Structure 1
């Protein structure tokens, strides 16, 4: 029975205000969300070998889930469907790697020499840019800006390839065994993900059960749309950027486009690093012609504009309802707390914690659900003590 009036002394009635069951998360909930995200960043900083493969496995899970669901609707068992989808994905990746190796001729120089050449090309572009600025602004020439920056670059890059770059590449190569966990985790997510959902559902009190299932379904669908949109956005970025770089004569446009599109997953910082990499390659391949480097910058800016106004609305849309101010602040907090790893993982972690925190906040602040829970607990206590003798 719905009670919407109360009887006042004297027989008068007064209408009760409507109960809002969908209150937005308050400051207390958001304080817990931000604090929990920072704690998780500190933990994942020391467990990157597991956090990054786990994140990649979640992305692969949502990308491979539609073909697996199609096989399940066709009558195939869950174990067999997970095996077929996972095996087909690994086979496709292996064929793509073999095709790229067979189509790419062996480089004449070693990777150390090639990276050093592109690094010197990038430094030459910076020197050329500074000299041009000194010609346009005499005050920069008076303070010898190009000489000061050139001396700083020279002091840092004399042994950069031998002392820093080699160690960095070796450390990155050491990540490959850990990355092999990603397909392994993806297979078990596909096969046993429904069991994990049932395990979580059993831990929810009966009064909150229906509402929790609805919220979890919304979360699952939002994550599904987001990661699928992210994959399509990466494909579009790679294609458009590769086409633009090929048009201006930059070597390996597809590889550069794919790396830049993947780096764009890291907000702001990834786009800057991708642009620097493209400019270095463009200036080196252009034999010191700054027009090619400026053209590469123009192509990169054009792709970013297409991202913001065309590609993202078509792919990602508004799947994650997160205010831009919170996004920017959490990126700075993630970088301060966990460095580069924090920049990479802060938004995925914030998304997960935000969903969990808002879900718990809605459940615990809903007066109707709390009343049902109290009533159910009282009934269970009454039933448990019904046959006890006082």
Structure 2
């Protein structure tokens, strides 16, 4: 009977996994809505503790979130658009600088043969691609309108996310209570304890790591703009987003900033020192203040595991998979930790003989 129950549970898990995989093209807005509901549930709970009803707490949180999004659209997006257009204008000049200055210098130092880079073909391909339109907005619009059905589906998902998030957030506590009431009575405490540990790890990552990324993006962008780098805002925000993988934000950010600074400032040493100082300060703040304060040591995912999780999530579920990859990996890590503990306590590990043999 016990073996039968195990096979039933295994079959149910496999059925759910197959169901999710087959329907993942339409699950993206629901997964994003679930993530948003999980993020905002503690805030709504706090508003409830202050005397607001659950519904009005959700309305207040959505109003605040909408105001923040509108402020970003009105302030940040135009600044980023200007920098993207500036990058578009500078791209041919940067290609010329790489071809006529940077590559000859590297070629002379390494003793490479003439024509080793075949850069003329690369430049021609990039220039041809860029010359197909006059502005970046035109590229985006042409891609977005290439398929009317795809555009309609994208807009429908965009509208569906806040609607689903609202109802999930309003009924979150009820759903958790329903799920707990369905747990096997003899396993309830064990499952609740395991879920609590997963919740602790998820909270540390989803809330903590996103705050670290936001803080680093602001530090890098503000610092680079103070140094006078034209593309400082764009590079700083990209470095902050890349900080989802340990040290990747620092490597990508300082590499892009030094390249842009070398092209903009030429041989001026002080702005380059300023760029390096910005990233050194950001890295020091991340290691000594931001990560210990906001995340702590409760995740413990190896950088290789982080990279694999992001690539696997993107391959399976696209952009939504990238968003959910590390939270899912954190939960899997908790489960693997418990399986490891069970294995260390088992007769298989200790080498004890089976009494039935």
Of the three residues 290, 303, 321, the one matched with 1:311 is 290
| Alignment length (residue pairs) | 320
Tell me the secondary structure at the aligned position of residue 51 of structure 2. Answer: coil
| Distance 1:341-1:298 versus aligned 2 partners, 3 A rule | farther
Of the three residues 187, 194, 199, the one matched with 1:215 is 194
Tell me the secondary structure at the aligned position of residue 227 of structure 1. Answer: helix
Is 1:132 aligned with 2:105? yes
Question: Alpha-carbon deviations, 1:76-102, whole Å to 9, x = none?
Answer: 21111111111222123224433457x
| Distance 1:293-1:184 versus aligned 2 partners, 3 A rule | farther
Residue 203 of structure 1 is matched in structure 2 by 182
| Distance 1:105-1:352 versus aligned 2 partners, 3 A rule | closer
Cα separation, 1, equivalents of 2:97 and 2:298: 40
| Distance 1:196-1:358 versus aligned 2 partners, 3 A rule | farther
Residue 383 of structure 1 is matched in structure 2 by none
Residue 45 of structure 2 is matched in structure 1 by 69
Cα separation, 1, equivalents of 2:305 and 2:204: 22
| Distance 1:123-1:88 versus aligned 2 partners, 3 A rule | same
Contact 1:226/1:320 (<8 A) preserved = yes
TM-score, normalized by length of structure 2? 0.68
Q: Which structure shows the higher helix fraction?
A: 2
Residue 192 of structure 1 is matched in structure 2 by 171
Question: Alpha-carbon deviations, 1:50-98, whole Å to 9, x = none?
Answer: 43x4554455435433432221112221111111111222123224433
Residue 86 of structure 1 is matched in structure 2 by 62
Of the three residues 188, 213, 226, the one matched with 2:205 is 226
Cα separation, 1, equivalents of 2:180 and 2:343: 16
Cα separation, 2, equivalents of 1:55 and 1:271: 29
Residue 328 of structure 2 is matched in structure 1 by 349
Is 1:151 aligned with 2:95? no
- Give 5+ residue unaligned stretches, structure 1: 1-31, 368-390
Contact 2:232/2:257 (<8 A) preserved = no
Aligned CA-pair RMSD: 4.6
Contact 1:327/1:347 (<8 A) preserved = yes
Contact 1:122/1:279 (<8 A) preserved = no
Cα deviation for residue 207 of structure 1 reads 0.4
| Distance 1:329-1:256 versus aligned 2 partners, 3 A rule | closer
| Distance 1:253-1:75 versus aligned 2 partners, 3 A rule | same
Cα deviation for residue 306 of structure 1 reads 4.5
| Distance 1:162-1:226 versus aligned 2 partners, 3 A rule | same
Contact 2:204/2:296 (<8 A) preserved = no
Is 1:241 aligned with 2:247? no
TM-score, normalized by length of structure 1? 0.63
Cα separation, 1, equivalents of 2:302 and 2:278: 26
